[in-house]
Amino acid sequence: MRFRVRKTAHVLERIGLAMAGAACGLFVGAYVGSAIASLTTQGFLLLMMLLGAVGFYLGIDTPQLPFDEAHSQIDAAEILSSAGTLCATLTALASVAVIVLRLEADGAVSWLVLLGWIAGVAMQIVAGAKARMRAA
């Protein structure tokens, strides 16, 4: 019984992380879509939300390598996960700031935000997949 409760709590936590990623993707999509006319579509918004949900679901809370003093090595999945989370949330924060403060950002900043978001969630997805394949 205790295992099922713990497993359910973990799944609920992961669903919450996925929803946070989708919300971040919505903000990035809304900002970038409003600044770059060719990306002003519902499909683009859904894609940004989907990338955020998958990235935050897989990339946050990855299984870590067991610690071993004799064979200490760098955990690439952990580094990718943390760098991806930082990059994705930083671009989401920048997007929210531009939207809420009604700032005028030029096209180059919008492209930088889009590339930062894609790089961040890509790192999270790769890190999560790598860590889960290793743990299986």
Is residue 57 within 8 Å of residue 17, measured between CB atoms? Answer: yes
In angstroms, the CA 71 to CA 14 distance is 31
Is residue 124 within 8 Å of residue 85, measured between CB atoms? Answer: yes
Nearest-5° angle of CA 61, CA 29, CA 89? 35
Residues 101-128: b if buried by 16+ CB within 10 A, e if exposed: eeeebeeebbeebbebbbebbbbbbbbb
Residue 68: per-residue pLDDT? 67
The dihedral over CA atoms of 26, 32, 36, 41, expressed in degrees to the nearest 10, equals -10
Phi, psi (degrees; rounded to nearest 5) at 80 = -60, -45
Cβ neighbour number for residue 29 with a 10 Å cutoff: 26
Tokens of 104: 């005028």
Residue 70: per-residue pLDDT? 56
Per-residue pLDDT of the chain (136 residues; tens, 9 = 90+): 778 898 899 889 989 999 999 999 999 999 999 998 889 899 999 999 999 999 999 888 777 777 666 556 777 888 999 999 999 999 999 999 999 999 887 789 999 999 999 999 999 999 988 888 876 6
Residue 72: per-residue pLDDT? 66
